[in-house]
Amino acid sequence: MREENREISIRRLCQILEVPRSSFYYAPYRRKAPEVDEGLARRIWELIQEYPAYGIRKVWAVLRYRLGIFVNRKKVARIMKLKGWTMKQRRPRMRPRVRGSRSVAERSNERWATDVTHIYCGSDGWCHLPLVIDCGDRE
């Protein structure tokens, strides 16, 4: 910077403004827009039209093994994502919890319940203890 024919160094200027010199020289990195291979994109679009249920992995497999086009799976995924050809992922639903109600039996020997538990037996390792109960008299 020049002021009245005096030159101020960048170092001195950064000291005055209390700014690190690295901030003065900082230039953010700008990414280029990803380029799309239109020939490959056209082949992928044809496959999607022929097999609408196919996802990225299946489309890639057909390109590679049936059509003999050796292309990276990530490139196929990138093209499909940029063109908006991917389907929205369905989240797996959790199974509803079954509320354990007490098993009711009118009389003895009508309904039985079982369970297996594991017990550590020291040097012998683990033992399996099967339990059986009569739901009629809880014995």
What confidence tens digit (pLDDT) does each residue in 54-72 have? 999 999 999 999 999 999 9
**Does some domain include residue 12?**
no
Can you tell me whether residue 58 is helix, strand or coil? helix
Q: How many separate domains does the chain show? A: 1
**Does some domain include residue 116?**
no
**N-term to C-term CA, the chain:** 95
Q: The tokens of 98 are what?
A: 């079954």
pTM more than 0.95: no
> Looking at residue 65, what DSSP letter applies?
I
| 73: pLDDT strictly greater than 60 | yes
**Which residues are bridge partners to 127 per DSSP?**
119
**Does some domain include residue 124?**
no
With contact defined as beta carbons under 8 Å apart, do 22 and 59 qualify?
no
